[in-house]
Structure 1
Amino acid sequence: MTTQTEAEAPLAVGQDTKAPNTTVGKEAPIRYTPAACVILERRSDLRKSLVYIVAYLMMEIGKQLSNFALSRANDGQYPVPSSLLVLLTECTKLLIILAWAMVMNISLLRWSPSLKFCLPAICYFMTNLLYLLALRSVPPPLWMILIQTRTLYTAAVYTVVFGRELTWVEVVGCLLVVASIPLARLSELQGGHLTLTSSVMLTSQVCAILSTVASVAVELLLKNDARSFCEQQAWLYLWGSLLGALAISLHPDLDSLSHLLQENRWSWSMATLLVLAVASSALAGLCVPFIVKNLDSIAKDYLAALNNMLLSAVTALLFPLHFTITWLYLLALALLILGIWLYERKVIWRHP
């Protein structure tokens, strides 16, 4: 790894990237002309963002396990509609942001409505619904491997749309991420499970694309919008809550749903899992903007991939009937982590 000199300093997105590459003995990066002058550069590093990273990793594990347990405890069905779970999560995040604004003595009257946060809110809403749908048949560690193609999609958006440099080593990293998916499929077959159907694979890629669009859109807004961080998050979660309320109003059988909520015949364990699922999902979601604002969307993705190592061990321990760790799965996980590490570290190979 070489020390970055002034000539090698990262270009701000929007800066002319067609200047000739004068770096001698290093791999020539792939460059494209950016579409617009925006800021997407990192404002911090991993050590300075360690608090947010640790909080995100802990909450993410809690989110994955509690949501999967919630579906497993009810024979593959959630005790309430998935749209209601998403609504409760978005409302929880919104209430936390509003409470934070009150504690920090931030005037809500100065906030102006914004439609900019509607697009990422729609993408996040659809992503969360697809995620909950997938967990009814796929354990969380496998799902996390399937959707890590979002690293590839995000890198493509950074390069083609915004003109960020991409070296061939980073391309290899992205290809390794993609290569981990068929290995994950083979690991399922080796373990005697048949959960990774073609519909699940398709759902995962739709989810990965939606996640990419939402992450890049939020990153653009966080780093370029003039609003305060608190106001940005409030509008994002308000739109998410409105979408959740709309989905509930369109429920095919509102009478049965109302009757289910009024009966309240859930066991103590089911109610605890429901609270844990909503709380951990909300807190994990609140940590993401801090990471994206200070680092970027790629950093969020590879942190989730690293976190998948611990998640795999815990899931295999708590749900041995639904998930087992095979050598093919470990190989898929290793390829995934190596691919994201190559992209993140931006390894430069010198010509002999």
Structure 2
Amino acid sequence: MAHDAQLYPADRIARAQKAAAEAGLDALLISPGPDLRYLTGYQALPLERLTCLVAPANGDPFLVVPLLEQPAAEASPVGGLGLEIVGWRETEDPYALVAGRLPVGPEGRVGVDNHMWAEKVLAFRAALPGVEQALAGEVLGALRMRKSAAEVAALREAGAAIDAVHAAVGQWLRPGRTEREVGRDIADAILAAGHETVDFVIVGSGPNGASPHHELSDRVIGAGEPVVVDIGGTMPSGYCSDSTRNYCVGEAPAEYLRAFGILLAAQTAQCESVRPGITAEQLDAVGRDLITEAGYGDRFIHRTGHGIGLETHEEPYIVSGSARPLEPGMAFSIEPGIYLPGRFGARIEDIAVCTEDGGDRLNLTPRDLVRLDG
């Protein structure tokens, strides 16, 4: 696994400042969340008290933290960046502190991170009257979606960890158990495989598989029922896993097997079509057209996929209407699905990375329907 200095290089803030200047922003205001971790390696606690990286387009960046959080900030990777850390006391107004140090005129523009709490956005609006607020994600998204070799290595490690869980699902998935019971075992295995947190566990049995984001229920799994298992977590590196496989105890219904065969062909074709220059909507169409030709077009009800990195869902999105060309280093899911309400559903998901001359799949467990003995 890559060292943190490779995963979170010290030049990222400077690159973000340059990109902000090019986008016509006077500064970036980044509160705790994936953008702050991307820029500094610091996984700060999201508290009601303001922690904020202030990165002027021109000038030295600094990190504003509550005084009681200053030791944690100094002990984090921020301590090795040579960044000024400004602690504020309980009786101080941190928004006024930032406003007083920011070289932004009354008609300036600042980028606030996409996940900043509304109360903080509004407090900055009050402290910087007349200053326009834009989304920092419009600047940082372009940086974050092109993964470095170290980031790809972190995603590969995450992919191998979630693959290990899928390889063991047969130990827990059997008739007579509830989705929740199976899900609890899977969640334990996600942590045991090396993840720091469990982000989601979907066990959609029978008709519940037709709800793409079903998660878990007390429904008892029956013999001959297809089960969609979509799972993911976050590794200590901060990078995420996400993979979906399909299981059945005993023999699945004939129409399910037909639909699954079409889905497998579509997902395989999409994975094989990843290359620089293909657009997001073209990649979406590769699978969607096959599914539509087979008569299930109206049963593929979501986009083909989402980018992945420090968040499970981030840019780029593989969706109709996006003319974004894929570039080397972009990482995203390929997860077409077919859903028949009240009956069953199926989805196959791998994380793929666009390379210099094609694509690289990071999930390597078999994509076929996994038939389990009852």
Asked whether the two chains share a fold, i.e. TM above 0.5, the reply is no
Higher helix share: 1
How does the TM-score come out when normalised to structure 2?
Answer: 0.29
How does the TM-score come out when normalised to structure 1?
Answer: 0.30
Higher strand share: 2
Larger radius of gyration: 2
